[in-house]
Amino acid sequence: MLMRATGICICLTLALTAGPAIAAGRPDSMIPFDKLDAAALARVRQVVPGYTFYHKLCTPYGEFCARSDVFEYLGDHLDLTSILGQQLHVAKIRSERLADGSFYADNHKGAKGIIWPLYAAPGERLFFVQGSDRSGDAVEGKSVVFVHYQEPAPGLIRCEVHAFVKLTTFFRQFLAGLFLPLVTGTVNQRFGEVLSVPVLVAEEATLDPDKVLAAMDSLPPEDAAKLKEFRALLNRQPPQGQ
């Protein structure tokens, strides 16, 4: 379904809540293999099985105030979210939607990547990410990210992000045990950047919709036109109970 500096990196997804069940200690059992089409399954199989490591991300926005419909829309439209995120000063770069429906972003500081949405259901998102980060200790690889989220109370969202990371350099794979703290730190940082923008924009849109509408009014006409659907969503009454 989930960001300060939109889309970079080695993984993404909005994972949620009190957490999906993990069968027999196997974290990859949470991936909804039986619900994926052939193309999505082929991407997942590039990483699982055979991933270098599994990591439950330590995100700073595990619980936040937002309308679920607004949060889902922003998480599913990262290109549009980055436009509004820049206008609200919570995103530094723009992400771009490619012809195949994936999202590309480059922070021009060494980190870049492509995110493919694979599966969406209420409370669940699954993504495939391929990217690299050479801004510090070089990391390059592929990832499957499972996001699970829930609304324990009206307007309150809890979210977890589970990443299955496959490093593509033999050197990194061989030394994954030694470098794991370093690599997982990079993954946390990049996921935090990606996840913070939809979260922060969704919070603003929920708590102060007039501010967000005013921000859209001040956009260049071309960008404002792209957000027409989101404006209509924001103007609608929230789902019952919110």
The SS3 call for residue 119 is strand
Q: Which amino acid is at 6?
A: T
Whether 108 shows a pLDDT value over 80: the answer reads no
Task: Classify residue 142: in a domain, yes or no.
Answer: yes
Contact predicate 49/27, CB 8 Å: no
Task: Classify residue 16: in a domain, yes or no.
Answer: no
Q: Against a cut of 0.85, is the pTM above it? A: no
pLDDT digits (tens, 9 = 90+) for 191-242: 556 667 888 899 999 999 999 999 999 999 999 999 999 999 998 876 555 5
How is residue 5 written in tokens?
């500096």
Q: How far apart are CA 186 and CA 167, in angstroms?
A: 13
Residue 23: band (very low, low, confident or very high) from pLDDT cuts 50, 70, 90: very low
* pLDDT computed for residue 165 by the predictor: 85
Residue 61: band (very low, low, confident or very high) from pLDDT cuts 50, 70, 90: low
Instruction: Read off φ and ψ for residue 238, nearest 5 degrees.
Output: -65, 160
Contact predicate 159/141, CB 8 Å: no
N residues, the chain: 242
Contact predicate 158/152, CB 8 Å: yes
User: For all residues of the chain together, what is the average pLDDT?
Assistant: 77
Task: Classify residue 21: in a domain, yes or no.
Answer: no
Q: How far apart are CA 215 and CA 218, in angstroms?
A: 5
* pLDDT computed for residue 177 by the predictor: 46
Contact predicate 197/81, CB 8 Å: yes
Task: Classify residue 17: in a domain, yes or no.
Answer: no
pLDDT digits (tens, 9 = 90+) for 164-202: 888 776 445 444 444 444 445 555 555 556 667 888 899
Task: Classify residue 18: in a domain, yes or no.
Answer: no
Region 70-88 average pLDDT: 92
Total domains in the chain come to 1
Q: How far apart are CA 227 and CA 235, in angstroms?
A: 12
Task: Classify residue 45: in a domain, yes or no.
Answer: yes
162: domain CATH number is 3.30.530.20
Range of the domain at 217: 27-233
How do strand 156-167 and strand 63-65 relate by DSSP bridges?
A: antiparallel
* pLDDT computed for residue 113 by the predictor: 80
pLDDT digits (tens, 9 = 90+) for 145-167: 898 898 898 889 998 888 888 87
